[in-house]
Amino acid sequence: MTDDSARDLAESRGVETHVYQPAEDSGLLATAVVERGRGWLLEVGTGSGWVAERAATDAPEVDAVVASDLNPHACRAARARAVDAVSDGDGSEAPAFEVVRGSLVEPFADGAFDTVAFNPPYLPTDPDNEWDDWMERALSGGESGRELVDPFLDSVGRVLAPDGVVLLLVSSLTGYDEVLEHAADCGFAHEVVVEESYPFETLTVVALRSDAR
């Protein structure tokens, strides 16, 4: 995929200047979170916080939600959403979910979460013309499309509680088989939770569980 076609795809999803807005991939991840999320849930790369809000308000088995993002604009937008989700106008209620700025799962303690959800940046990008602003970082997965997917898979097991589950959105643009092979190398078995096909790609949310659990 060229940078121009990736940008066209981004524009078709209604993105803005700094923060990724809900689109088809967000809707699929939210569906999986409502169906499979439970206990303490972390959404990595929350963007606007829309999926985290769905987890906090619509997922019957979820007890608490933490949302994280490296983008400071996204963190501000998500915090505002968390407040608006419960606000009665006087600011007396606790936010619907907490927001932490950080990279992937680095800020969090071992075994802290029963569910970790991630809609990663996955559009393959020419290494000679890499995108570099916050909105572009929310979309670009590097040359392979897996620049953040692979390190996420390498590290997410550390923050999972026993019997924890990872809900990962995978695009066919990223290389579905390659992602699952890396997940298997990290000790995860997978099952498909929800999948949809579009003219330009197929999107799948997989549930990953450690073979050792």
For residue 66, how many C-alpha atoms fall within 13 Å in the half-sphere facing its CB? 19
Q: What is the CA 42 to chain-centroid distance, rounded?
A: 9
Q: Which positions ≥6 away from 23 have C-beta within 8 Å?
A: 13, 14, 15
Residue with tokens 């993002």: 69
Is 29 within 8 Å of 169 (Cβ atoms)? yes
Q: What pLDDT score does 58 carry?
A: 96
Show me where the domains of the chain are located: 3-210
Q: 41: closest CA among 20, 64, 71, 22?
A: 64
State phi, psi for 191 to the nearest 5 degrees. Answer: -145, 150
| pLDDT in the model for residue 97 | 96
Q: Does residue 13 surpass a pLDDT of 60?
A: no
Instruction: Give residue for tokens 């929800």.
Output: 194
Percent share of the chain, pLDDT over 90: 59
Query: In the chain, which residue ranges form alpha helices assigned H by DSSP?
Result: 3-12, 24-36, 50-58, 72-84, 134-137, 149-156, 176-185
For Cα atoms 177, 182, 185, give the angle at the middle one, nearest 5 degrees: 125
pLDDT, residue 80, reads 93
pLDDT in tens, 112-133: 999 999 998 766 576 666 555 5
Report the SS3 class of residue 53.
helix
CA distance 173 to 122: 7
Tracing tokens 């939600």 back to the chain, one arrives at 65
Q: Take residue 125 and report the two structure tokens written for it.
A: 């990008």
What are the pLDDT digits (tens) for 58-116? 999 999 999 999 889 899 999 999 999 986 555 557 899 999 999 999 999 999 999 99
pLDDT-derived band at 11 (thresholds 50, 70, 90) equals: very low
pLDDT > 70: percent of the chain? 77
Q: Which helix (H) or strand (E) covers residue 153, if one does?
A: helix 149-156
CATH superfamily of 3-210: Vaccinia Virus protein VP39 (3.40.50.150)
